[in-house]
Amino acid sequence: MLTSWAKQGGTAETCVFVLLLGRERMFLRFRIEKGGVSMKTIVFVGAGSMAQAMIHGWMKEATVAPENVYVMNKSDQEKLASLNETYGVQLVCEKKEILKTADLVILAMKPKDVQAGMNSIATYLPTTAVVLSILAGVPMNTIEQGLGKRPIARCMPNTSATIGMSASAIAWNERMESNDKTEIIELLKTIGSVIEVEEDELHVITALSGSGPAYVYYFVEAFEKAAVASGLSAQVARNLLVQTIAGSAEMLKQSNETPSTLRKQVTSPGGTTEAGIEALQNSGFSDMLARCLNDAETRSRELGKRYIK
């Protein structure tokens, strides 16, 4: 916990922190007056899988105290109750006054509900509130039209935020101050990696890394099924596949070699790997992945066009 605090740039002179014990967890509550994260009231509008992943990651890393995180959702009160019970976060029901003190508002509803969601909070938000959208396809100008001229960011994380391994990309509007950028990036770094991009790039990023975990799970699902058909148990196949993917990903991170070079190092002429690679090539594997990316990007752009006024 103290390591997490130190990463935020805190010192004895600039930080006051209190260890809070509860729900069998230990959280570091901090107030940073110079540097680090000072966004003390964070409100999620929507409680879908991505919002839950971010909350889980932040609570696990003790990034934000649970009493400083508020969640509102137009339906599924059982989900809200579960978030409160599991993480200790606060619920926003009919009383929306907390929005008047919000430092950071995270739009996390379904894209089709964005207009209704913005209408429900617009009159409560202070001009100082920063808005972070994690909605696929919804452009920042649409958010500005709904919530006024204010600092707005669009981010595409993924559900690996749950274990602190998200690959997030973020874009800003021109009203975002550098200190707000720094604080949001610091928040996102606690649930994985984050890169800054242009807004238009978020369509292909949504298709690539936003949806990426689902592609990996589908790959494992298909390979596991094939391995079971060849005589392995599902558990043995899954264990081997998961470790193979994790090891290969770590090799890519640690090595300066390209994926192509690493692949060729494993592929002996006339060997089993070569036979498998040729089967993938003959099946149009690369073309299928290109179509996967293209179709997902196209859908993101289609979603965006629905909200451009």
Overall size of the chain counted in residues = 309
d(CA 162, CA 186): 16
pLDDT (tens digit, 9 = 90+) per residue, 21-56? 333 334 433 333 333 455 689 999 998 889 999 999
Q: What's residue 232's pLDDT?
A: 98
**Same-domain pairing of 186 and 252:** no
- Of 179, 205, 231, the residue that ends a domain is 205
145 and 288 part of one domain? no
Residue 234 and residue 177 share a domain: no
Together in a domain, 34 and 127: yes
User: Does residue 87 sit within a domain?
Assistant: yes
Last residue of a domain, one of 205, 235, 253: 205
- Of 69, 62, 61, 54, nearest to 29 (Cα)? 62
- Arithmetic mean of pLDDT, 183-192: 93
pLDDT over 80 at 4, yes or no: no
Rg of the Cα trace of the chain? 22
Q: Is the pLDDT reported for residue 9 higher than 80? A: no
In whole angstroms, give the CA distance from residue 113 to residue 116: 6
Q: Which pLDDT value is given to residue 80?
A: 86
Residue 218 and residue 221: Cα distance in Å, rounded? 5
Task: Look at residue 255 and tell me if it is in a domain.
Answer: yes
CB atoms within 10 A of CB 238: 17
Domain co-membership, 183 together with 235? no
pLDDT in tens, 146-170: 999 999 999 999 999 999 999 999 9
Could you tell me the pTM of the whole model? Answer: 0.81
**According to the model, what pLDDT value does residue 38 have?**
59
For residue 2, the model assigns a pLDDT of: 32
Q: Give pLDDT tens digits for 218-252.
A: 999 999 999 999 999 999 999 999 999 999 999 99
pLDDT at position 37, please?
52
For residue 74, give the 3-state DSSP assignment.
coil
Domain holding 251: CATH number?
A: 1.10.3730.10
- Same domain for 44 and 76, yes or no, is yes
Roughly what angle, to the nearest 10 degrees, separates helices 49-60 and 77-87? 10
Residue 94 domain boundaries: 2-205
Do 226 and 153 share a structural domain?
A: no
The verdict on 46 and 94 lying in the same domain is yes
Same domain, 38 and 127: yes
Number of domains in the chain: 2
- Asked whether the beta carbons of 154 and 133 are under 8 A apart, the reply is yes
Q: Are residues 164 and 123 in the same domain?
A: yes
| 58, part of any domain | yes
- Closest Cα to residue 188, out of 134, 149, 110, 114? 134
Helix (H, G, I), strand (E, B) or coil at 151: coil
Q: Based on the domain organization, do 187 and 238 belong to the same domain?
A: no
Residue 131, token pair as written in the block:
């808005």
State the sign of the Cα–Cα–Cα–Cα dihedral 88, 91, 95, 97: positive
Is residue 13 over pLDDT 80? no
pLDDT digits (tens, 9 = 90+) for 258-288: 999 999 999 999 999 999 999 999 999 999 9
Domain membership of residue 309 (yes or no) is no
**Coil, strand or helix: which one is 15?**
strand
Q: Which of 152, 176, 205 is where one domain is finished? A: 205
Task: Give per-residue pLDDT as tens, 108-155.
Answer: 999 889 999 999 999 999 999 999 999 999 999 999 999 999 999 999
Residue 170 contacts residue 153 (beta carbons within 8 Å):
yes
Mark whether 154 and 243 lie in a shared domain: no
